[in-house]
Structure 1
Amino acid sequence: MSDERGGDTPKSWLNRLTTLLGNDPETRADLLEIIKAAGKKGILDAESQRIIESTLQVSDMQVREIMVPRAQIISIKDNSQPKDFLPTMLESAHSRFPVLANDNSDEVVGILLAKDMLRLIGQKTERFDLKDYIRPAFCIPETAHLDRLLREFKAKQSHMAIAVDEYGGIAGLVTLEDALEQIVGDIHDEHDDANEDSHWISPQADGSYIVQAITPITEFNDYFETQLTHDDFETIGGIILSEFERMPHINEYIDLAHWRFTILAADLRMISVIKVQDLRKTTA
């Protein structure tokens, strides 16, 4: 068996391509032509060709081309209490939120991770100080190119950056996921792993569960080994809404079999977050 591939490095890989396809490239445009020719000859499959071409083009793109603009950012003030931001945090389903100074909306204090806040849902939060949970954030010019952004993410071991304009004001927000998607295409958020119910359903220290109302009934049944069904609804929130026969209020609950469903977040249109308890494991 040949071990010809054992020494594959970017340089040896490129040498083989140029041997097959012509002279060494002198410019990036030449290199792109070689890559395209390799695709046509079947040396590279279509996906590999796309990723290589995207990687080469990343240095031409600027942060402002992929950032979430300031007007669309969901941020939290550094003097906020859980009751102020938890409903919005849960409804948005984002995993990271920039924290801004209460007295200066252009001063970024840090980043708040949603996973650090989940345990506070439904709990009393006396002596709560948001600053205890804030993680460092870094800023990058909105004109910076994506290759620099990726290097900064790696160096700072961070997943989110604040894009700033020429005056130092907040221009937008950009994540590592946003940058990588320019190379590999759409990818899942870090909480969207192979078992997506890990994002919809969060076990709590007291034995209860925080469940997103959009959790599909099938996923809920698989997780809790239940057999809930409904002809008209596909989500657990739909089932709960049909049982109430009206829009429930916060902290209202309903019991189905040996499960208690308490409303944690809802508005005039829909239920967003539910607390689920197994009544067989709770004391009266």
Structure 2
Amino acid sequence: MEPDGSRIWIYVLLILVFALLKGVYTACEYAVTEVNDSKVKTLAETDPRYAKLLKLIEAPQKMMLAFSMQRALSCVMISILAVMLLDAVLDTRVELQLLHGGAAGWIRAGMLAGLLLVTTVLISSLTEQLPKRLVHRHIDGFAVGCVGAVRLLTWVLAPVALLAHGLTFVACKLCGLPTDDVRDSVTEEEIRMMVEAGNETGAIEESEREMINNIFDFGDTVVSEVMTHRTDIIGAELHAKIGDIVYLAINEGVSRIPVYEQTIDNIVGIVYVKDLLCLVGCEHCEDFTLEQFRRDALYMPETCKCREAFEQMTRAKQQMAVISDEYGGTAGIVTMEDLLEEIVGSIQDEYDDEASELEQLPDGGYSVDGAADPEDILPKLGVAVPEDNQYDTMSALMVDLLGRIPEKQERPAVEYQGLKLTVLQTEDNWISRIRVEQLRPAGEPTK
């Protein structure tokens, strides 16, 4: 019995050793991977301990492979030792030695299954979750202190890690899989899910969540959705007088004016108001023409993506681009500000009317800009946007509901999802202003 008793204690001691190693290196892995990288880079400039930690963080491949191998080896050794411990304990039980045949086998199998289950639970809780929670409170200090232990682990397991890496490389080649490290491959959908989770827990603010989602949507949005429509373009004829251009810039509050020849469909360039400042105090400014100040315009199709438009305008160092339709005419213009607003939201300057899209009237109704997006306006009025919505402007929605473009003097009205929409102003075959009245309380479902 003496040898058996000694063997049991040896197995117990070895299990505790491997469990302790696993717990320690789990804590090391958590500390090194979760420590604030920016803080480490800042402190590394003055503290050599953080400089050593920074080297580990900047080259994590070997370190992460060593952590993975250590976890696997510890779990395997603990499981093997647990089975050997069970055999040693059962060999000392006289009751089991009296059993013969299948009964003893079934009892051993049941006890083995129970032992493995208990071992798994203990490994998960004591060597995985507990070390992380203990380290979390002092993660910076532990990360700095464990650098030597991590280096030692990486050096000891280097041959095994190299062998495992080689086998993985061969297996990937045989299966036709990519051999590069896919650990950092994160899909757009996964990032969106993490952002939503962070927003729910309060780690990411609502404005930050919207901005991140807008960045992903930026590459899918076409410029025709954000451009200024041709009917709203403030432009000047090529042969207009300089004084008229100055008057137009002052009254409209614009700094860049598209210049067209005969018709808005033939935009031949852009005039920058700042280029006209050289004429201040000039007695013969009428002797100058717009042709002398006209800059070449940047053209792009209305199907161009916002990301592509942004890149083109950045390369060309242009703040404004002309959007052409499929027939070569002018569909509208887009500015760098229009594109940036798709990411950061509305940018109000000293010339913008902040409440122009939706204004509440004294009688309780609303005045809506015809160029406003229905997806922005309808929810504010308590109306759900249809899933099959195909309208970019309230004007387009109104024209579709009426079935025609109203004349300038007409004021037709139509009902839509509990709202009464009335045309207030029509300009150049474009409904520029709409009156909206709620026929039932906001939020009441449509029957």
Q: Which residue of 1 aligns with 2:37?
A: 4
Q: Which residue of 2 aligns with 1:92?
A: 252
Distance in 2 separating the partners of 1:51 and 1:25: 22
Q: Which residue of 2 aligns with 1:253?
A: none
Q: Which residue of 2 aligns with 1:75?
A: 235
Count of residues in correspondence between the two structures: 176
Change (3 A) 1:84 1:37: same
- Offset, 1:3: 6.0
Q: Which has the higher strand share?
A: 1
Letter aligned with residue 112 of structure 1: V
1:54-77, CA deviations, whole angstroms, 9 ceiling, x for partnerless residues? 101112211111111101111112
Q: Are 1:110 and 1:136, in contact at CA under 8 Å, matched by a contact in 2?
A: yes
Q: Which residue of 1 aligns with 2:226?
A: 66
CA RMSD of aligned residues (A): 2.8
Q: Are 1:25 and 1:31, in contact at CA under 8 Å, matched by a contact in 2?
A: no
Gaps of 5+ in 1: 13-22, 193-284
Q: Does 1:168 align with 2:347?
A: no
Letter aligned with residue 159 of structure 1: Q
1:28-83, CA deviations, whole angstroms, 9 ceiling, x for partnerless residues? 33321121112223332332222111101112211111111101111112222113
Distance in 2 separating the partners of 1:31 and 1:41: 15
Change (3 A) 1:187 1:48: same
- Residue 54 of structure 1: SS of its match in structure 2? helix
1:123-150, CA deviations, whole angstroms, 9 ceiling, x for partnerless residues? 5314212122112210111111111111
Distance in 2 separating the partners of 1:132 and 1:96: 15
Q: Which residue of 2 aligns with 1:30?
A: 190
Gaps of 5+ in 2: 1-34, 43-57, 59-182, 352-447
Distance in 2 separating the partners of 1:95 and 1:24: 45
Q: Are 1:82 and 1:120, in contact at CA under 8 Å, matched by a contact in 2?
A: no
1:207-261, CA deviations, whole angstroms, 9 ceiling, x for partnerless residues? xxxxxxxxxxxxxxxxxxxxxxxxxxxxxxxxxxxxxxxxxxxxxxxxxxxxxxx
Percent identity for Structure 1 against Structure 2: 31
Q: Does 1:117 align with 2:150?
A: no
Distance in 2 separating the partners of 1:122 and 1:140: 38
Distance in 2 separating the partners of 1:127 and 1:136: 22
Where in structure 2 are the equivalents of 1:212-251 lying within 5 Å? none
Which of the residues 346, 356, 374 maps onto 1:186? Answer: 346
Q: TM-score, normalised by structure 1?
A: 0.55
- Offset, 1:101: 2.0
Q: Are 1:100 and 1:108, in contact at CA under 8 Å, matched by a contact in 2?
A: yes
Distance in 2 separating the partners of 1:73 and 1:3: 49
Distance in 1 separating the partners of 2:186 and 2:327: 39
Q: Are 2:270 and 2:297, in contact at CA under 8 Å, matched by a contact in 1?
A: yes
- Offset, 1:26: 6.0
Q: TM-score, normalised by structure 2?
A: 0.36
Q: Which has the higher helix share?
A: 2
Q: Does 1:146 align with 2:319?
A: no
Higher relative contact order (CA 8 A, sep 6+): 1
Change (3 A) 1:45 1:5: farther
